[in-house]
Amino acid sequence: MNFTAVAAIYRFEMARFFRTITQSLVSPVLSTSLYFVVFGTAIGSRIQEVEGISYGAFIVPGLIMLSVMTQATSNASFGIYFPKFMGTIYELLSAPVNFLEITLGYVGAAATKSLFIGIVILITAFFFVDISIAHPFAMIAFLVLTCVSFSLLGFIIGIWAGNFEQLQLIPLLIITPLVFLGGSFYSVTMLPPIWQTITMFNPVVYLISGFRWSFFGTADVSIGLSLMAVGFFTGACLVAIWWIFRTGWRIRQ
């Protein structure tokens, strides 16, 4: 393992993040505040509790997941797409590094950025609602796993994208709707039976459910199933990345 190469890619990506640290912090804080005003106040005045939890506190895990998933995907996709766009990807491919080291550098940086933003949003939430974390270690584990898995997905999207429009296509048209329809702001049990069954085919449900369990001890699906879903998704992304570098798809073409 060439740790020097991994560290060099990681530092480069993190340096780009800290150059825009103000925007990186202000944007999620403002977005979270607006969500609390709209959902926590307007809707919360009509829905007092969900599963014995105040609605304002109930939506906190969903808000964090929404931001973490979108930020992880966007950061990782842009990180690998920009070298493709500039043509510097060939210098990286000709260097004595393998696909795993390249992936660790870019995905590690994207996961760190999204983890940082997730923590900022969690801290912001404490100013609006009274929340407690029933299983803090499980919360950290789910948060890290989500950051890593969606950074891997973003890495694949960045390789696949042929232009900046395609770079935003999947996060905007697929990931964000899946998060909203995955129980971010409501419990799946509140839906009619037929829609509960359909919702179970949404992979994001398992991430949000497990993450919410770490806060309140309640979940729409079992924790074991949530962990299996995250593990399968992460493994599938790793296999896809291995295949991409092995065949040169969208990299050398």
Q: What stretch of H or E contains 53?
A: strand 53-54
Which residue has tokens 């949003």? 121
3-state SS assignment for residue 98: coil
Rounded Cα–Cα distance for residues 21 and 30 (Å) = 14
**Token pair of 36, please?**
């609390």
Q: At what angle do helices 21-35 and 99-125 cross, to 10 degrees?
A: 50
**Cα end-to-end span (Å), the chain:** 27
From the list 70, 69, 104, 77, the residue with the least C-alpha distance to 158 is 77
Provide the residue-wise pLDDT of the chain in tens; the chain has 253 residues. 788 989 999 999 998 888 877 777 777 778 777 877 777 666 666 777 777 888 888 888 988 998 899 889 989 999 999 888 888 888 888 888 888 899 999 999 999 999 998 998 898 888 888 888 999 999 999 999 999 999 999 999 999 988 888 888 888 888 888 888 888 888 888 888 898 888 888 889 999 999 999 999 988 888 889 989 888 999 999 999 999 988 888 886 5
3-state SS assignment for residue 222: coil
Say if pTM beats, i.e. exceeds, 0.75.
yes
Rounded Cα–Cα distance for residues 59 and 70 (Å) = 17
